[in-house]
Structure 1
Amino acid sequence: MSENYYDIYIKLLQRYGAQSWWPADTPFEMLIGSILVQNTSWRNVEKAMEQLKPFLSPEQIEKLTQEELARLIRPSGFFNVKAKRIKAFIAWFRLYDYEVENLKKRDREEIRNELLGINGIGRETADVMLLYAFDKPIFVVDAYARRIFYRLGNDMPVSYDGFRFILEKELPLDLLLMNEYHALLVEHAKVHCKSNPICNGCPLFDLCARRLE
C-alpha cells in the first residue's frame, strides 16, 4: 500500500468526514443522476431531477418518448443527447429486469464492459454506476482527481484506466474506501483545490508540490 495515496485519503477523511455518497434517494435515481451530471453542475442535475421525480422509475421512463424525457431533463443541459443516453441505458437495464440486485451478483469487469457498450456511457460514468449502485469497488477518475494528484506532484498516466490501475494497485480494493475517496476528492476540489486554489488551511498542504499550471 502506498503511504502517500492512503495518507491523502486519511487526511481528507479527517478534515471533511464521511461523505456517504451518492446523493440520491434510491439506486435508480443515482443511476439516472450519473448520466445527467455529465458536463454540468450538480445544481442543474437537482433541477432536472425535480422535474423528473414523478416519472422516476425505469418503467415510467420507458413509457416516455425521447422528446418528453428531453423536456423534463432540460435544466441539466445537452438534454436531447442525455435523453437518448438514458433511453439506451433503460433498454440495457431491462435485460436485468430493472433490478440492481441482479447486477450486484455479476462480475465487475463483465458489467463494466456492458455499460461501456451503451451509447453515451463512458468510463467515468460506468465506474460511478459500478461503485455507487452496483457495489463494485473501483476508483473513479474524474477531472478533480486529475487536478489534485497533479498538484500534489504525482505524474499520473494520461489514459483513464492507466490512472485507475495505479490507485487500485496501491490501495485496498475496498468498497467503502473507494466510495469515500472519490467523494472526498470532489469535496476537496470544491473547498480548496479549485481552479484557483485556496492553499491556506488545506489539509494536504504538507504533501503538496503545489504545481498550479
Structure 2
Amino acid sequence: MLKRSLRVDDRHITGYIMKGNLHLSLNRPDLAVTDFRGAQELRADLRSYQGLVRAYLALSKCKDALFTAREAMKVMHQSAKALKLVGDVHAISSSGREKARKFYESAIRLEPGFLGAALALADLHVAEGRNKEAVLLLERYLRQWADDSLHIKLAQVFAATSLLSDALSHYQSALRINPHNEAAKKGLERLEKQMKGVDPDAPEDEDENEADDVDGDQDDAELL
C-alpha cells in the first residue's frame, strides 16, 4: 500500500518518511537514506532531517550526520528541535559533549518546555558524572509535567548512584502513568535484581546455575 501511495503521488512526503523509519527499524539505514532524501527533494521537513541524521549515524557517517543537522538548523530557523539535532550528533563522542551541552541548553532557552532536550541534557550530565545536576534538571521539569519518561530517567540516575529506593519510587510512578511502558518494566526488573544483590547484566542461565549451586551446597551440608 505504501509503495502504491508513492507511485500515485510522488509528493507524498509522509510516505517517504514512514518508509525511511521502517527501514531504520529493520536495520537498513542505507535504504533509509534514500527514502529521507526523497522526502527532502520534495520539501525541507524536520522529520526527514532527523531521519537522515539517524541513518548516517547508524552507518557511522558522522561528518554527513553533522552536515545534515547543521543544514536543518539553517533551514529551520529558530527551531529548538533542530538545535537538539546538532547536539545529538556532537554527543556521540566524548570530545563533542561540551558542544552538545551548549546546543541542548540553547534549545531549552528557545523552548523551555522541550522535554526531549531536557532528557538529552540529563543524559549528558550523567555521562560527565554530574548526576546531581541531572537530578535537579529532571525534578524541575517534573514539577511541570507528569511524564513517564521523566520518571524513568530519574529512576535510571538514582539506580546508577545506588539510591535504589528512590529509583523504585520513580519506576512505579512511571508505570502508574503508563502501565504499558516497556522501558519502565525492564528498568524495574533490573532494579529488583539489584535490590536482591543479583547482577542485572548476568545471563539468565548463570542466575539459575547460581541458584543450583546454592541448593547443592545446602544438600552437601545436610549430608555432612
Q: Which has the higher contact order (CA 8 A, sep 6+)?
A: 1
Report the structure number with the largest CA radius of gyration.
Answer: 2
Provide TM-score, normalisation by structure 2.
0.29
- Larger helix proportion, structure 1 or 2? 2
Provide TM-score, normalisation by structure 1.
0.30
